[in-house]
Protein backbone atom coordinates (compact mmCIF):
# COMPACT_ATOMS: atom_id res chain seq x y z
CA UNK A 1 0.00 0.00 0.00
CA UNK A 2 1.32 3.47 -0.84
CA UNK A 3 1.70 6.13 1.79
CA UNK A 4 1.16 9.81 0.90
CA UNK A 5 2.42 12.63 3.03
CA UNK A 6 0.08 15.59 2.78
CA UNK A 7 -1.24 18.56 4.80
CA UNK A 8 -3.65 17.84 7.65
CA UNK A 9 -7.37 18.25 6.94
CA UNK A 10 -10.19 18.60 9.49
CA UNK A 11 -11.51 15.15 8.78
CA UNK A 12 -8.18 13.65 9.86
CA UNK A 13 -8.93 14.52 13.50
CA UNK A 14 -10.37 11.12 14.56
CA UNK A 15 -7.42 9.39 12.91
CA UNK A 16 -4.96 11.73 14.59
CA UNK A 17 -6.54 11.15 17.99
CA UNK A 18 -6.51 7.41 17.51
CA UNK A 19 -2.88 7.40 16.43
CA UNK A 20 -1.85 9.59 19.34
CA UNK A 21 -3.66 7.31 21.78
CA UNK A 22 -1.94 4.31 20.21
CA UNK A 23 1.53 5.73 20.46
CA UNK A 24 1.45 7.80 23.63
CA UNK A 25 1.44 5.68 26.73
CA UNK A 26 -0.46 7.04 29.70
CA UNK A 27 2.13 9.49 30.97
CA UNK A 28 3.41 9.31 34.51
CA UNK A 29 4.61 12.87 34.38
CA UNK A 30 2.97 15.83 32.73
CA UNK A 31 3.60 15.54 29.00
CA UNK A 32 5.36 18.34 27.20
CA UNK A 33 2.79 18.22 24.45
CA UNK A 34 -0.42 16.45 25.36
CA UNK A 35 -2.97 15.47 22.76
CA UNK A 36 -5.18 18.32 24.04
CA UNK A 37 -2.34 20.78 23.44
CA UNK A 38 -1.87 19.34 19.96
CA UNK A 39 -5.54 19.67 19.06
CA UNK A 40 -5.59 23.25 20.37
CA UNK A 41 -2.52 24.02 18.33
CA UNK A 42 -4.02 22.80 15.03
CA UNK A 43 -6.05 26.01 14.72
CA UNK A 44 -3.29 28.34 15.83
CA UNK A 45 -1.47 30.86 13.62
CA UNK A 46 1.82 29.47 12.42
CA UNK A 47 0.91 25.86 13.16
CA UNK A 48 1.82 23.26 10.57
CA UNK A 49 0.50 19.73 10.61
CA UNK A 50 1.22 17.06 8.04
CA UNK A 51 -0.10 13.52 7.98
CA UNK A 52 0.99 10.25 6.44
CA UNK A 53 -2.04 8.77 4.70
CA UNK A 54 -2.23 5.10 3.87
CA UNK A 55 -5.43 4.34 2.03
CA UNK A 56 -7.31 7.06 3.96
CA UNK A 57 -5.87 5.93 7.29
CA UNK A 58 -3.74 8.35 9.28
CA UNK A 59 -0.55 6.39 9.98
CA UNK A 60 1.71 9.30 10.86
CA UNK A 61 1.55 12.91 12.05
CA UNK A 62 4.10 15.70 12.09
CA UNK A 63 3.33 18.83 14.05
CA UNK A 64 5.26 22.07 14.23
CA UNK A 65 4.82 25.77 14.65
CA UNK A 66 6.62 28.66 13.01
CA UNK A 67 7.22 31.93 14.82
CA UNK A 68 9.28 34.34 12.71
CA UNK A 69 12.72 33.02 11.93
CA UNK A 70 12.49 30.20 14.46
CA UNK A 71 10.25 27.19 14.12
CA UNK A 72 9.55 24.34 16.49
CA UNK A 73 9.24 20.73 15.48
CA UNK A 74 6.92 19.53 18.20
CA UNK A 75 6.08 15.97 17.43
CA UNK A 76 6.53 13.33 14.76
CA UNK A 77 4.67 10.11 15.41
CA UNK A 78 4.18 7.06 13.25
CA UNK A 79 1.91 4.07 13.80
CA UNK A 80 3.78 0.96 14.87
CA UNK A 81 4.11 -1.59 12.11
CA UNK A 82 4.38 0.71 9.07
CA UNK A 83 7.89 1.51 7.83
CA UNK A 84 8.48 3.76 10.79
CA UNK A 85 11.93 5.08 9.92
CA UNK A 86 11.00 5.96 6.38
CA UNK A 87 7.64 7.51 7.16
CA UNK A 88 9.01 9.67 9.94
CA UNK A 89 11.76 10.88 7.58
CA UNK A 90 9.19 11.85 4.97
CA UNK A 91 6.97 13.56 7.56
CA UNK A 92 9.94 15.52 8.86
CA UNK A 93 10.97 16.52 5.30
CA UNK A 94 7.49 17.81 4.57
CA UNK A 95 7.20 19.59 7.91
CA UNK A 96 10.59 21.27 7.52
CA UNK A 97 9.80 22.38 3.98
CA UNK A 98 6.57 24.02 5.08
CA UNK A 99 8.12 25.69 8.12
CA UNK A 100 10.95 27.01 5.96
CA UNK A 101 8.41 28.33 3.49
CA UNK A 102 6.88 30.32 6.35
CA UNK A 103 10.21 32.02 7.00
CA UNK A 104 11.90 29.69 9.48
CA UNK A 105 15.68 29.73 9.36
CA UNK A 106 16.25 27.63 12.44
CA UNK A 107 14.41 24.54 13.63
CA UNK A 108 14.24 23.53 17.26
CA UNK A 109 12.83 20.11 18.05
CA UNK A 110 11.24 18.78 21.23
CA UNK A 111 12.71 15.37 21.88
CA UNK A 112 10.45 12.98 23.73
CA UNK A 113 12.39 9.72 23.48
CA UNK A 114 15.61 8.09 22.28
CA UNK A 115 14.11 7.00 18.95
CA UNK A 116 13.11 10.51 18.13
CA UNK A 117 16.56 11.78 19.11
CA UNK A 118 18.21 9.24 16.80
CA UNK A 119 15.84 10.10 13.93
CA UNK A 120 16.52 13.81 14.33
CA UNK A 121 20.28 13.35 14.48
CA UNK A 122 20.13 11.31 11.29
CA UNK A 123 18.24 14.26 9.81
CA UNK A 124 20.97 16.76 10.62
CA UNK A 125 19.88 18.02 14.03
CA UNK A 126 22.53 18.44 16.70
CA UNK A 127 21.84 18.14 20.42
CA UNK A 128 22.01 21.43 22.30
CA UNK A 129 24.00 19.99 25.14
CA UNK A 130 23.18 22.26 28.01
CA UNK A 131 19.58 22.92 27.15
CA UNK A 132 16.63 21.40 28.87
CA UNK A 133 12.93 21.79 28.29
CA UNK A 134 10.77 22.83 31.22
CA UNK A 135 7.07 23.50 31.34
CA UNK A 136 4.56 25.40 33.39
CA UNK A 137 0.80 25.59 33.10
CA UNK A 138 -0.10 29.27 33.02
CA UNK A 139 -2.07 29.91 36.23
CA UNK A 140 -5.47 31.43 35.66
CA UNK A 141 -4.67 34.54 37.67
CA UNK A 142 -1.71 35.21 35.43
CA UNK A 143 -3.73 34.72 32.27
CA UNK A 144 -6.73 36.84 33.22
CA UNK A 145 -5.94 39.06 36.18
CA UNK A 146 -8.37 41.82 35.31
CA UNK A 147 -11.26 39.54 34.35
CA UNK A 148 -10.77 37.64 37.58
CA UNK A 149 -10.64 40.77 39.70
CA UNK A 150 -13.83 42.11 38.12
CA UNK A 151 -15.59 38.91 39.11
CA UNK A 152 -14.29 39.23 42.67
CA UNK A 153 -12.31 36.02 42.14
CA UNK A 154 -8.95 35.23 43.64
CA UNK A 155 -6.37 32.51 44.04
CA UNK A 156 -6.49 30.64 47.35
CA UNK A 157 -3.47 29.94 49.52
CA UNK A 158 -2.18 26.55 48.32
CA UNK A 159 -1.80 25.28 51.91
CA UNK A 160 -5.52 25.47 52.69
CA UNK A 161 -6.41 21.96 51.50
CA UNK A 162 -3.90 20.31 53.81
CA UNK A 163 -4.89 22.47 56.77
CA UNK A 164 -8.51 21.23 56.58
CA UNK A 165 -8.95 18.81 59.44
CA UNK A 166 -11.47 16.00 59.63
CA UNK A 167 -13.68 15.88 56.54
CA UNK A 168 -11.76 12.76 55.59
CA UNK A 169 -14.47 11.23 53.41
CA UNK A 170 -15.28 14.42 51.57
CA UNK A 171 -11.58 15.11 50.98
CA UNK A 172 -10.98 11.63 49.67
CA UNK A 173 -13.90 11.89 47.26
CA UNK A 174 -12.57 15.16 45.91
CA UNK A 175 -9.04 13.72 45.66
CA UNK A 176 -10.21 10.71 43.70
CA UNK A 177 -13.04 12.01 41.62
CA UNK A 178 -12.05 15.59 40.92
CA UNK A 179 -8.28 15.85 41.26
CA UNK A 180 -7.19 12.50 39.81
CA UNK A 181 -9.04 12.79 36.48
CA UNK A 182 -7.59 16.28 36.12
CA UNK A 183 -4.10 15.11 36.95
CA UNK A 184 -4.30 12.13 34.61
CA UNK A 185 -6.55 13.22 31.74
CA UNK A 186 -5.38 10.57 29.31
CA UNK A 187 -5.85 7.72 31.76
CA UNK A 188 -9.28 9.11 32.61
CA UNK A 189 -10.17 9.35 28.92
CA UNK A 190 -9.06 5.74 28.40
CA UNK A 191 -11.63 4.64 30.96
CA UNK A 192 -14.26 7.13 29.80
CA UNK A 193 -14.09 8.81 33.19
CA UNK A 194 -15.08 12.44 33.12
CA UNK A 195 -14.40 14.71 36.05
CA UNK A 196 -17.42 16.11 37.86
CA UNK A 197 -18.70 19.51 36.92
CA UNK A 198 -21.06 20.36 39.78
CA UNK A 199 -21.35 19.36 43.43
CA UNK A 200 -23.48 20.29 46.44
CA UNK A 201 -22.08 20.47 49.98
CA UNK A 202 -24.62 20.23 52.76
CA UNK A 203 -24.39 20.29 56.53
CA UNK A 204 -25.01 22.37 59.65
CA UNK A 205 -23.67 25.94 59.92
CA UNK A 206 -19.98 26.42 60.59
CA UNK A 207 -18.93 22.88 59.69
CA UNK A 208 -16.60 24.07 56.94
CA UNK A 209 -18.53 24.08 53.67
CA UNK A 210 -17.17 27.41 52.50
CA UNK A 211 -13.69 26.51 53.69
CA UNK A 212 -13.94 23.18 51.90
CA UNK A 213 -14.93 24.83 48.60
CA UNK A 214 -11.94 27.17 48.92
CA UNK A 215 -9.80 24.15 49.78
CA UNK A 216 -10.81 22.49 46.52
CA UNK A 217 -9.78 25.64 44.65
CA UNK A 218 -6.45 25.59 46.48
CA UNK A 219 -5.95 21.91 45.67
CA UNK A 220 -6.64 22.23 41.92
CA UNK A 221 -4.97 25.66 41.78
CA UNK A 222 -7.95 27.26 40.12
CA UNK A 223 -9.27 30.66 41.13
CA UNK A 224 -12.16 30.83 43.56
CA UNK A 225 -15.11 32.88 42.36
CA UNK A 226 -18.13 33.34 44.59
CA UNK A 227 -21.41 34.50 43.13
CA UNK A 228 -24.29 35.91 45.15
CA UNK A 229 -27.40 35.63 43.03
CA UNK A 230 -29.56 37.20 45.74
CA UNK A 231 -27.42 40.33 45.63
CA UNK A 232 -27.83 41.02 41.93
CA UNK A 233 -28.49 44.70 41.83
CA UNK A 234 -30.64 45.59 38.90
CA UNK A 235 -34.07 46.92 38.26
CA UNK A 236 -36.53 44.18 37.47
CA UNK A 237 -36.27 40.43 37.57
CA UNK A 238 -35.57 40.04 33.84
CA UNK A 239 -32.62 42.38 34.05
CA UNK A 240 -31.29 40.51 37.11
CA UNK A 241 -31.47 37.22 35.23
CA UNK A 242 -29.62 38.85 32.35
CA UNK A 243 -26.90 40.05 34.71
CA UNK A 244 -26.53 36.56 36.13
CA UNK A 245 -26.15 35.12 32.62
CA UNK A 246 -23.48 37.73 31.83
CA UNK A 247 -21.61 36.85 35.02
CA UNK A 248 -21.56 33.21 33.99
CA UNK A 249 -20.40 34.12 30.47
CA UNK A 250 -17.44 35.91 31.99
CA UNK A 251 -16.71 33.03 34.33
CA UNK A 252 -16.71 30.57 31.43
CA UNK A 253 -14.23 32.80 29.62
CA UNK A 254 -11.73 32.18 32.43
CA UNK A 255 -9.38 29.26 31.76
CA UNK A 256 -10.54 27.62 35.00
CA UNK A 257 -12.56 28.37 38.11
CA UNK A 258 -14.18 26.91 41.21
CA UNK A 259 -17.50 28.76 41.26
CA UNK A 260 -19.09 28.93 44.70
CA UNK A 261 -22.75 29.61 45.43
CA UNK A 262 -23.48 29.75 49.16
CA UNK A 263 -26.97 29.37 50.66
CA UNK A 264 -28.25 27.91 47.46
CA UNK A 265 -31.68 27.44 49.08
CA UNK A 266 -32.20 31.15 48.40
CA UNK A 267 -32.25 30.16 44.74
CA UNK A 268 -33.60 26.65 44.66
CA UNK A 269 -35.89 26.04 47.64
CA UNK A 270 -38.92 24.01 46.64
CA UNK A 271 -41.33 26.40 48.38
CA UNK A 272 -41.74 29.73 46.63
CA UNK A 273 -41.73 31.73 49.86
CA UNK A 274 -38.33 30.31 50.86
CA UNK A 275 -36.62 31.59 47.75
CA UNK A 276 -35.09 35.01 47.92
CA UNK A 277 -34.93 35.70 44.21
CA UNK A 278 -37.44 36.00 41.46
CA UNK A 279 -38.26 32.85 39.50
CA UNK A 280 -36.55 34.20 36.37
CA UNK A 281 -33.26 34.38 38.26
CA UNK A 282 -33.77 30.80 39.48
CA UNK A 283 -34.51 29.67 35.94
CA UNK A 284 -31.45 31.42 34.59
CA UNK A 285 -29.31 29.70 37.21
CA UNK A 286 -30.78 26.29 36.32
CA UNK A 287 -30.01 26.99 32.67
CA UNK A 288 -26.38 27.75 33.48
CA UNK A 289 -25.60 24.56 35.44
CA UNK A 290 -25.34 22.22 32.41
CA UNK A 291 -22.79 24.57 30.86
CA UNK A 292 -20.32 23.39 33.49
CA UNK A 293 -20.35 20.02 31.72
CA UNK A 294 -19.29 21.54 28.42
CA UNK A 295 -16.61 23.92 29.60
CA UNK A 296 -13.58 22.10 30.98
CA UNK A 297 -11.80 23.13 34.19
CA UNK A 298 -14.84 24.73 35.78
CA UNK A 299 -16.43 23.26 38.89
CA UNK A 300 -19.66 24.55 40.37
CA UNK A 301 -19.88 24.12 44.15
CA UNK A 302 -23.13 24.96 45.90
CA UNK A 303 -23.53 24.95 49.68
CA UNK A 304 -26.60 24.72 51.85
CA UNK A 305 -27.54 24.23 55.50
CA UNK A 306 -30.97 23.03 54.44
CA UNK A 307 -30.73 20.34 51.82
CA UNK A 308 -34.22 19.07 52.63
CA UNK A 309 -35.65 22.43 51.60
CA UNK A 310 -34.19 22.22 48.10
CA UNK A 311 -36.32 21.33 45.15
CA UNK A 312 -35.61 17.62 44.41
CA UNK A 313 -35.56 18.40 40.68
CA UNK A 314 -32.73 20.83 41.34
CA UNK A 315 -30.62 18.06 42.90
CA UNK A 316 -31.06 15.41 40.23
CA UNK A 317 -27.97 13.59 38.94
CA UNK A 318 -28.09 15.32 35.56
CA UNK A 319 -27.35 18.59 37.32
CA UNK A 320 -25.10 17.61 40.21
CA UNK A 321 -22.57 14.81 40.19
CA UNK A 322 -22.23 14.51 43.95
CA UNK A 323 -24.13 15.62 47.04
CA UNK A 324 -21.54 15.61 49.79
CA UNK A 325 -22.29 15.80 53.51
CA UNK A 326 -20.01 18.09 55.52
CA UNK A 327 -20.80 17.15 59.07
CA UNK A 328 -19.83 17.88 62.66
CA UNK A 329 -16.16 17.26 63.40
CA UNK A 330 -15.56 14.01 65.28
CA UNK A 331 -13.18 13.87 68.27
CA UNK A 332 -10.08 13.40 66.07
CA UNK A 333 -11.03 16.32 63.88
CA UNK A 334 -11.75 18.51 66.91
CA UNK A 335 -8.39 17.55 68.38
CA UNK A 336 -6.64 18.54 65.16
CA UNK A 337 -8.48 21.85 64.97
CA UNK A 338 -7.83 22.63 68.65
CA UNK A 339 -4.17 21.78 68.24
CA UNK A 340 -3.87 24.22 65.38
CA UNK A 341 -5.23 27.13 67.42
CA UNK A 342 -3.52 26.19 70.68
CA UNK A 343 -0.14 26.10 68.95
CA UNK A 344 -0.78 29.55 67.56
CA UNK A 345 -2.00 31.05 70.83
CA UNK A 346 0.23 29.66 73.54
CA UNK A 347 3.34 27.65 74.27
CA UNK A 348 1.88 26.50 77.60
CA UNK A 349 1.14 22.81 77.96
CA UNK A 350 -2.58 22.54 77.19
CA UNK A 351 -4.32 19.17 77.44
CA UNK A 352 -5.96 18.87 74.02
CA UNK A 353 -8.06 15.89 75.11
CA UNK A 354 -9.64 17.99 77.84
CA UNK A 355 -10.62 20.58 75.22
CA UNK A 356 -11.99 17.91 72.90
CA UNK A 357 -14.08 16.43 75.70
CA UNK A 358 -15.48 19.83 76.68
CA UNK A 359 -16.44 20.83 73.14
CA UNK A 360 -18.67 18.02 71.99
CA UNK A 361 -21.23 19.99 70.00
CA UNK A 362 -18.75 22.52 68.70
CA UNK A 363 -18.29 23.16 64.99
CA UNK A 364 -14.88 24.21 63.67
CA UNK A 365 -16.22 27.75 63.67
CA UNK A 366 -17.16 27.46 67.38
CA UNK A 367 -13.71 26.10 68.19
CA UNK A 368 -12.10 29.03 66.44
CA UNK A 369 -14.36 31.44 68.33
CA UNK A 370 -13.60 29.86 71.73
CA UNK A 371 -9.86 29.76 71.00
CA UNK A 372 -9.87 33.48 70.20
CA UNK A 373 -11.77 34.14 73.41
CA UNK A 374 -9.13 32.25 75.43
CA UNK A 375 -6.38 34.30 73.79
CA UNK A 376 -8.24 37.50 74.58
CA UNK A 377 -8.56 36.42 78.22
CA UNK A 378 -4.81 35.89 78.59
CA UNK A 379 -4.15 39.19 76.83
CA UNK A 380 -6.45 41.13 79.16
CA UNK A 381 -4.97 39.44 82.22
CA UNK A 382 -1.50 40.55 81.26
CA UNK A 383 -2.69 44.06 80.43
CA UNK A 384 -4.50 44.61 83.71
CA UNK A 385 -2.37 42.57 86.08
CA UNK A 386 1.08 43.01 84.59
CA UNK A 387 3.35 40.30 83.26
CA UNK A 388 1.57 36.98 83.00
CA UNK A 389 1.63 33.74 81.08
CA UNK A 390 0.10 33.11 77.71
CA UNK A 391 -3.24 31.26 77.57
CA UNK A 392 -3.53 28.25 79.89
CA UNK A 393 -5.81 25.23 79.91
CA UNK A 394 -8.18 27.05 82.27
CA UNK A 395 -8.48 29.97 79.83
CA UNK A 396 -9.55 27.58 77.12
CA UNK A 397 -11.99 25.73 79.38
CA UNK A 398 -13.47 29.01 80.60
CA UNK A 399 -13.83 30.22 77.01
CA UNK A 400 -15.50 26.94 76.04
CA UNK A 401 -17.99 27.28 78.87
CA UNK A 402 -18.88 30.77 77.62
CA UNK A 403 -19.36 29.65 74.01
CA UNK A 404 -22.75 28.40 72.93
CA UNK A 405 -22.23 25.39 70.65
CA UNK A 406 -23.90 25.60 67.25
CA UNK A 407 -24.74 21.92 67.20
CA UNK A 408 -27.14 19.95 69.36
CA UNK A 409 -28.21 16.32 69.54
CA UNK A 410 -31.25 17.19 67.40
CA UNK A 411 -29.19 18.95 64.75
CA UNK A 412 -26.75 16.05 64.61
CA UNK A 413 -29.65 13.59 64.24
CA UNK A 414 -31.21 15.72 61.54
CA UNK A 415 -27.89 15.83 59.72
CA UNK A 416 -27.59 12.04 59.92
CA UNK A 417 -31.08 11.65 58.51
CA UNK A 418 -30.31 14.13 55.70
CA UNK A 419 -27.13 12.23 54.92
CA UNK A 420 -29.07 8.96 54.63
CA UNK A 421 -31.69 10.54 52.45
CA UNK A 422 -29.65 12.85 50.22
CA UNK A 423 -25.94 12.03 50.17
CA UNK A 424 -24.78 10.77 46.78
CA UNK A 425 -21.21 10.01 45.85
Q: Where do contacts with ligand ATP occur on this chain (CB under 6 A)?
A: 164-167, 205-211, 305, 337, 364-365, 368
Smallest gap from residue 345 Cβ to ligand ATP (A): 15
Binds 365, which of ligand ATP, Mg ion, none (CB < 5 to 8 A, cut-off by type)?
A: ligand ATP
CB of 260 to Mg ion, least distance (A): 9
Residue 208 beta carbon to Mg ion: minimum distance, rounded to whole angstroms: 8
- Which of Mg ion, ligand ATP, none does residue 364 bind to, with CB < 5 to 8 Å depending on kind? ligand ATP
Q: Which is nearer to Mg ion, 30 or 205 (CB)?
A: 205
**Minimal distance in Å, beta carbon 208 to ligand ATP?**
2
Strand-pairing partners, residue 424, are 323
Task: List binders of Mg ion among 321-350 (CB under 5 A).
Answer: none
Residue 337's binding partner among ligand ATP, Mg ion, none (Cβ under 5 to 8 angstroms by kind) is: ligand ATP
Residue nearest to Mg ion (CB): 210
| Smaller CB separation from Mg ion, 120 or 259 | 259
Query: How big is the site for Mg ion, counted in residues (CB under 5 A)?
Result: 2
Q: Does 240 bind Mg ion (CB under 5 A)?
A: no
Which residue from 340, 360, 374, 367 is spatially nearest to 409, judged by alpha carbons?
360
In the complex with ligand ATP, which residue's Cβ is closer, 165 or 377? 165
Name the residue number minimizing CB distance to ligand ATP.
208
Query: Between 62 and 364, whose beta carbon lies closer to ligand ATP?
Result: 364
Q: Per-residue string for binding with Mg ion, 184-213, x by CB under 5 A?
A: -------------------------xx---
CB of 207 vs ligand ATP, minimal distance in Å: 4
Chain residues binding Mg ion by CB under 5 A are 209-210
Amino acid sequence: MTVFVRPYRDRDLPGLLQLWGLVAEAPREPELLSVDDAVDLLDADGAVCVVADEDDDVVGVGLGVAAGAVAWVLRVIVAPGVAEGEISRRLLDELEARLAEMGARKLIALVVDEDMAAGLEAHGYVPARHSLCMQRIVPANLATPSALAELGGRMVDPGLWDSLKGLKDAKEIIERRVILPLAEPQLAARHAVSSPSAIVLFGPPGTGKTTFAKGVASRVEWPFVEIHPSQLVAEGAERQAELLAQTFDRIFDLPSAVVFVDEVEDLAAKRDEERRVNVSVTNEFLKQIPRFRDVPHHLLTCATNWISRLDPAFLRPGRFDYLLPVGPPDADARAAIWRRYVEEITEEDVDINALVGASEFFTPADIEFAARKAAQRAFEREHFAGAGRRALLEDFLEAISKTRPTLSAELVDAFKADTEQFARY
